[in-house]
Each structure stands twice: as structure tokens, then as C-alpha cells.
Structure 1
Amino acid sequence: MVNEFAKDPEAAARYYIDQHPTGWACLTPDATTGANECYCHDRGEGAQDGWTTTQDHAASYDWTYVLRPDGLEVRRWDHGVVALVAWDADRVDWEEIERKGHALP
């Protein structure tokens, strides 16, 4: 999913934030459908107008993501950066990223 933005964080922001304002359950593509799982479409919960995640609110999530010019920063909340996935990455090993994140103190 990350590599389809071709080093364009603005395109990623339009997709991840503007088109899916309620947030994401999972950014790892589903093994069956190949799709990510957002709260506003895939779970049928409906987009919430004006919904945003603040830093205070983000502490309730296990994983947070930062859109950077050089890629998608994957973080375990309060434990630090787990990975920086380049926008043009040919392959992303999400399972390895998850293992590294869970190994953080």
C-alpha cells in the first residue's frame, strides 16, 4: 500500500486522512482481500464529521503512524519508532515490523 504513493506524502495524506477520516483498524492489507481496514468504510461505523486524533487521544492506541516526506513512520505509542517505511518500498514486511514493535520495552 505504501509504495503506491510514489514518494508523495500529500497523496498518502489524502488517502489515509481525508478519504478515511475516522481512522484505521489496520494498515496491513488483509490476506484475503488485499485491502486495509478503515473504521469509516470497512467496519460500517460511518465517518464522524470533525473527528481528529490529538496527541492526548492517541495514547489510547497501540500503534500510531506519522506521514513524513521520506515515508510512513510506524510507532508503538510511548515506546518509540519501530520502522520508517519508504514511500517507494518494493516490499514491506509488516509482520517483522509488528514483531519489532512488540519487542520494545
Structure 2
Amino acid sequence: MGTQAVVARATEGGGFAGRIVLHDGEPGTAASLLRSLVHHVCGGDVEAATRLLIDEHPGGWVDIPDADSDGTCLCHDAPPLNGPATTELATHETSGHTEFVYVLYPDRLQILVLGSDGWEEIRSISWAY
């Protein structure tokens, strides 16, 4: 099984809400795929990428879509064998089982890990090339 992660948008108060990704969660892989999605699939529109990842696929993802792949979502393409995928958002309060969180902001991608005091930023990457 791959590295689990969450792709998310920021919420008020410094939190996040998003969808689970079962594979592609390592920072080197996920950051590259998310940048490809924003630039090559969504034409640089971060909000369109965020809607695609979070709003249009409420079951979450097996793997992240990008310029070379449509990804595999859990709500349309690959429902889990043990029943329908959850449609509850993964949040800063409920995502303790994931290794990384990728928060999409208009100007950057923030990468978080769970530290002793909660979610901590390990990297922030500009969308600009």
C-alpha cells in the first residue's frame, strides 16, 4: 500500500478540510502530481483543481490525477470492496492516520506532517515554475 495523504483546502482558524488519497502521498510524488494537475489539467487555476479534487470526488482518491492520468477516484472509478467510500471530509481534527497533508492555496502548496503539537508545515511550494 502507498503512502496515505489528504489533499485539502484551508479552513478558517488555520485548519484544513479535504479528501483522502490512498497512494502517491510522498511529498516528492504528490507535489509533482499536484503541480502538474494545476498547470496542465486546470490551466493554472488552483481553485478548479481544488474543486476537482475535493468537491467533485467526495469519496477521495486512490491516486492523484495529473497531466498523464485521470487518477482513480473512490466514488466513481474504484469503490472500496467493503462498501461505499466515505464522503466525510478529512480535517485537521480527523486526519491523524495520514502521513502528509497537502493544502492548496491560491499562491502555493503547503505540505504538513503531524507533529507533537498538531499539524506542522514542512514545506511550502509556489505554484509558479
**Which of the five TM-score ranges fits, normalised by the shorter chain?**
0.5 to 0.7
Contact 1:63 1:77 in 2 (8 A): yes
Is 1:69 matched up with 2:106? yes
Q: Give the equivalent residue in structure 1 for 2:34.
A: none
CA distance in 1, matches of 2:38, 2:110: 11
Q: Within 5 A, what are the aligned runs for 1:10-29?
A: 10-27=47-64, 29=66
Q: Displacement, 1:60? A: 1.0
Moved more, 14-23 or 34-43: 34-43
Report deviation, 1:83.
4.6
1:84 and 2:125 correspond: yes
Shift of 1:54: 1.8
Q: What's the CA shift for 1:61?
A: 0.7
Give the equivalent residue in structure 2 for 1:56.
Answer: 93
The answer to which structure has the higher helix fraction is 1
Distance 1:2 1:75 in 2: 19
User: After alignment, is 35-44 or 57-66 more displaced?
Assistant: 35-44
For the residue of structure 1 that corresponds to 2:102, the secondary structure is strand
Change over 3 Å in CA distance of 1:20–1:82 after alignment to 2: same
Normalized per residue, which structure has more strand?
A: 2
Aligned residues: 84
Question: What residue ranges of structure 2 are gaps of 5+ in the alignment?
Answer: 1-36
1:19 is matched by which residue type in structure 2? Answer: E
State the 4+ residue runs in structure 1 displaced beyond 4 angstroms: none
Change (3 A) 1:28 1:17: closer
